[in-house]
Structure 1
Amino acid sequence: MAQDAKYIIQYCKDSVTRAKNVMKKSEDIIRIGTSSMTPAQVLVDLWPKLQEECPGVKFQLVPFDNTPENAREILANLGQNIDVIAGIFDETMLNLRRCAGLEISKEPICAAVSIHHRLAGKDRLTVQDLYGEKFMMMRREWSHYVDLLRDDLWKNHPKIQIVDFDFYDVNAFNQCENNDCVLMAVPKWQYVHPLLKILPVDWSYTIPYGLLHSPDPSPVVKQFLRAVQKETGRDK
């Protein structure tokens, strides 16, 4: 009986140890949400350097459908099933979605056109190139940075017809391609739609790009974010 009791006690201790090890392993995984509009390529490119700062941390890509419902649910609950998502943002969007953001870069606001569009043969656009075009922009108050561009176009370039839409997804890109419109875009989206070409425009408008995360990230996510800051020069 005494031997059996010792075995049971040791078995229980081993079970606790195994459970702790499983928890430890799961804690050392960064779950990166990825969709057509939020590709993880920026982190894939940084990963060799990030591993030096976070040697025990592993990546896990978590694909999701980029729908308005998913965006609300996932961004409001970062840290539960997904830890970080790469994308464009600003304070307006962060407050709306109840999440935090680590800026990696300022992305130039560009124009996406169908490969069959009259402007597709150009390497760079002027504002005047957009005269007579339907320019698709996210609705007002979605982003302060976008509203600055919108106000400039309304005031100084009335020959550009602004078309509002509510959500960035593949449908917005399809609408641009099917209706021969011009879509506000950023260079990071160059692979979202094979029939669209993203062109820089001769203006100075940009929008922050980086990692969306929980306002109260776990210790391993904090470590990861510090490593990203260091490798992108954002810790200075």
Structure 2
Amino acid sequence: MIEQLKTFVQVAESGSFSKAAEKLFISSTAVMKQMNLLEKQTGVPLFIRTNHGVSLTNAGTAFIKDAEYMLQYFQESLIRIHQSAQDNRHMVRVGTSMLNPCKVLIDLWNGISDLYPQFGINIVHFEDDAHTLPTTYRMIGQSLDIIAGPFLTDNLKDYYRVLELGSYRVCFAVSRQHRLASRKTLLVNDLYGERLAVVNGGNNAVIHDIRDFLKKKHPQIHIKDVPRLYDLDVFNRCEESHTVMLTLESWADIHPSLVTIPSDLDFAVPYGLLYPLHPSKEVGQFLDIIKEMQGNVLSKVE
């Protein structure tokens, strides 16, 4: 009905079906069909049709002011609706950092956000510092609702819930001046005689398995255990010392002087969302939407 009213007002102003069609970017036939239907619905002729154009009948003249009022009222109503939706909108606070980028969640949400206007996302930045990161995690449920990233600290699962979204393959990173920097893929054998930094301050089972596998099967690699969490300082030290670093494919662009190279290691680290054991009602609803979306994606893949 709203489109018919818009077309009616435009025809009345233009005095022609074809001119109105040009301004509305639709065909003249579509304009005539809409006007024929409007006259049928009102039960009275609204236009006088001639070879030189159209003009309003007395009924049409009486109706034009009401049509303009209804269109104006509709637009004002839309504004009120959107303002009301904004007032009731719940903002989900999502943490982000270089090593824990929220892009994976944002990309998911952007694909469906139009369906759920009651939710918005506030991005909250935090630093990747091995000393302060545990404090950042304690912010979840207080000043943060969700952190997205790889699950590299297994004991966090005792204090938070996790929603797995996928996994990142394990890679190696080397300085751009390193002898292996030009390789497209690094085989484990390529690292014989090299120092390999294995960071596992989070007591991650996958990294434990990689370390044990390399020590048992490839003792020619000099494992340098780094009992701390991944942070930018680790990347800097590995670059400065030309130490090979065990890393993830998602961190390929973290350090401009390091080259991240795929490996033949058949290991992957899961990634996803970390959130409180008892999230708020609104955050719980938001996460349910993400879970449903993930379920639909997995069903299509299977």
Q: Normalising by structure 2, what TM-score?
A: 0.65
Instruction: Say if 1:143 and 1:53 are closer, same or farther in 2 by CA, change over 3 A.
Output: farther
Correspondent of 1:106 among 167, 182, 202: 167
Instruction: Say if 1:95 and 1:35 are closer, same or farther in 2 by CA, change over 3 A.
Output: same
Correspondent of 2:186 among 122, 125, 135: 125
In structure 2, the partner of 1:5 is none
Matches within 5 A, 1:4-153: 24-25=88-89, 28-89=90-151, 92-95=154-157, 98-139=159-200, 142-153=203-214
Q: Does 1:227 align with 2:289?
A: yes
Shift of 1:104: 0.7
Distance 1:117 1:53 in 2: 49
Question: Post-superposition, which runs of at least 4 consecutive aligned residues in structure 1 deviate over 6 A?
Answer: none
Shift of 1:140: 7.1
Cα deviation code 1:93-151 (max 9, x no counterpart): 3246x222111112111111112211110111111011111111123761011111111
Distance 1:140 1:33 in 2: 21
Distance 1:38 1:205 in 2: 19
The letter of the residue matching 1:65 is E
In structure 2, the partner of 1:8 is none
In structure 2, the partner of 1:208 is 270
Instruction: Point out which structure has higher relative CO (alpha carbons under 8 A, 6+ apart).
Output: 1
Distance 1:227 1:90 in 2: 25
Cα deviation code 1:179-208 (max 9, x no counterpart): 101111111112211111111111211111
Question: Structure 2: where are the runs of 5+ without partners?
Answer: 1-84
The percent of aligned pairs where both chains have the same amino acid is: 34
Instruction: Say if 1:68 and 1:53 are closer, same or farther in 2 by CA, change over 3 A.
Output: farther
Mapped contact 1:76–1:99 kept (Cα < 8 A): no
Mapped contact 1:100–1:212 kept (Cα < 8 A): yes
Q: Does 1:183 align with 2:248?
A: no
Distance 2:202 2:123 in 1: 31
Question: Structure 1: where are the runs of 5+ without partners?
Answer: 1-20
Instruction: Say if 1:222 and 1:147 are closer, same or farther in 2 by CA, change over 3 A.
Output: same
The letter of the residue matching 1:67 is D
Shift of 1:67: 2.0
The letter of the residue matching 1:194 is P
Instruction: Say if 1:53 and 1:229 are closer, same or farther in 2 by CA, change over 3 A.
Output: farther
Instruction: Say if 1:67 and 1:226 are closer, same or farther in 2 by CA, change over 3 A.
Output: same
Mapped contact 1:54–1:223 kept (Cα < 8 A): no
Distance 2:154 2:143 in 1: 24
Correspondent of 2:215 among 123, 135, 154: 154
- When you count helix as a share of all residues, which structure comes out higher? 2
The letter of the residue matching 1:123 is K
Cα deviation code 1:209-233 (max 9, x no counterpart): 1111111112222222223233344
Specify the structure having the higher radius of gyration (Cα): 2
The letter of the residue matching 1:78 is I
Q: Does 1:173 align with 2:253?
A: no
Distance 1:52 1:223 in 2: 16
Mapped contact 2:153–2:203 kept (Cα < 8 A): no
